[in-house]
Amino acid sequence: MPGWIADNALLIGLAVLDGLSYAAAVFMVAVGLNLIFGVLRVLNIAHGSLYAIGGYSAAALGLFVVSRGLPGWLVFPTLLAASVLVGLVLGPPIERLLRRTEKEEPVLQLLVTFALFMILEDLQKLLFGVQPVVFDAPLKMLGTVDIPFGQDVIPFTAYQLFVLPGIALVTLAGLAWFLRRTLYGRMIVAVTTDREAARAMGIDAAKVTLLTFTAGAALAALGGALASPTASLVPGVGAQTIVLSFAVVATAGLGQIEGAAVTSLLIGLGRSFAVYFEPELEVVVPYLIMVAVLLVRPQGLFGVPETRRI
């Protein structure tokens, strides 16, 4: 083993760089889903559609900014603005629908999001068409960075190397601060931990739910917006992205932001090592990680065992 590491030290270094940027992308999609799951206890299947619509909207707004000849740096705030817009426009109505079925069985809420996923999937097609959409101005603007590799150099895009992991870290730190240090944040944590007790203490659960869902939707859209400079947006992109986030949520533990971060890191690194050393395993790596984690920790990486209610 040490011999293998020494032989492949340079490759391992590259794999780590690739893994980090992939992890950042995974985290950005999964963190909103996890937040929503923590508070509403519903796995939002429409999260993938929000991701796709966020990506399309960012690309559309970005192309508009570029076509107007506005200053180039504006594309970055545009990505953010598009995400917030999608979150504000789509988040509250979806949350309302979910709240209508709050008293029913949890599976009904899950299916509300499944139905929304189907509706949004076609809506996205009607709005944005079927031709692949890319908005690569941010990518091109930042250029590449040469990473030494023995005698050789490997160019990485600055976007992939710095922007994606940077935004993921800022999001993680910002959310952690918000959840621990602000009143609303603490209310969210309280509801996540024990909804009934939080209600009994006078926390307005409805308000917390609305806030969380809107924030979660905006995060999903931000995930899509951040992907739009490199990924091609096509019909069906949401369904394929979201299934990975499901694995992250279950592996992380309910509503755990840090759990989502660690899981994303595991998945990102696991995947890139697979591509480097055993490419055929690439697709199954996230699921293998999930099964392995849950075998050891049935409540997820950072989850707390639920109290046994009698």
Partner 1 sequence: MSRRALLELVAALAAAAIVLLVAALVPWLRFVLTIAIAKGIAVLGILLLLRAGQVSFGHALYVALAAYAAAFAAPRMPEALLLLPLGALVSGAVGLVVGLFVVRYREIFFGMLNLALSMVFYSVLEKFYALTHGTDGIRLPAIRYVGTALGPEEAGWATLAVAILLALGFGAFVRVYLLSPMGEALSAMKTRETRLEFMGIPARRVLLAAYVLSAVMAGCGGVIIAMTTRHVTPALAYWTASGELVFIAILGGAGSVFGPFLGAFGYELTRTYAAALVADAWQMILGIVLLGVILFAPGGLWGMGRSALRRRPAGEGAA
Partner 2 sequence: MAGDVRFAPGSLTRRAALGALGVGSLALAGRSVQAQAAKPSELKVGIATYLSGPASVFGVPGRQAAEMLFDEINAEGGIAGVKVRPIFVDEGPGVDHFVGEYRRLVQSENVNIIFSAISSADCLACTPLADELKRPTLLWDCGTQRIFEDARYQYAVRTQGNATPEVLAALLYVLRAKPDFRSIAVVNQDYAWGRDSWAIWKTAMDTLKPGVRVAAEFFPRFGATDFSTEVTRLLALRPDVILTTSWGGDLDAFIRQSAERRLFERSTFVMPLAESSLERVGKTLPAGVIVGGRGDHWFGHPSPKDPALLARFTENYRKRFSTWPIYPTHHMAQAVFAMKAGYEKAIKAKGGGWPTDAELAAAFQGLEFPSLTGTIKIREDGQGLEDQLIGTTVHTDKYPFPVLTDMVVFKAADITTPVGQKSLDWLKTLSPDMPGKMPAPVPYRG
CB of 105 to partner 2, least distance (A): 27
20-28, 71-79, 253-261, 297-305 -> range binding partner 2 (CB under 8 A)? 20-28
Nearest approach, Cβ of residue 275 and partner 1 (Å): 14
Cα gap 286→271, rounded to integer Å: 7
Per-residue binder mask for partner 2 (CB under 8 A), 260-299, x = binder? -----------xx--xx--xx-xx----------------
Residues numbered 106 to 125 that lie near partner 2 (CB under 8 A) are 121-122, 125
Q: Which is nearer to partner 2, 72 or 236 (CB)?
A: 236
Of the two residues 129 and 174, which places its CB atom closer to partner 1 in the complex? 129
Q: Closest approach of Cβ 154 to partner 1, in Å?
A: 28
- Choices 7-15, 61-69, 180-188, 253-261; region in contact with partner 2 by CB under 8 A: 7-15
How far apart, in Å, are the Cα atoms of 64 and each of 55, 76, 133, 137?
14, 13, 14, 12
Residue 4 touches partner 2, criterion: CB under 8 A:
no
In the range 143-182, which residues lie near partner 2 by CB under 8 A?
A: 144, 149, 152, 154-157, 160
Q: Which residues bind partner 1 (CB under 8 A)?
A: 37, 43, 45, 97, 100-101, 104-108, 110-112, 114-119, 121-123, 125-126, 239, 243, 246-247, 249-250, 254, 280, 283-284, 287-288, 290-291, 294-295, 298-300, 308-310
* Span from 78-86, 176-184, 223-231, 297-305 in contact with partner 2 (CB under 8 A): 223-231
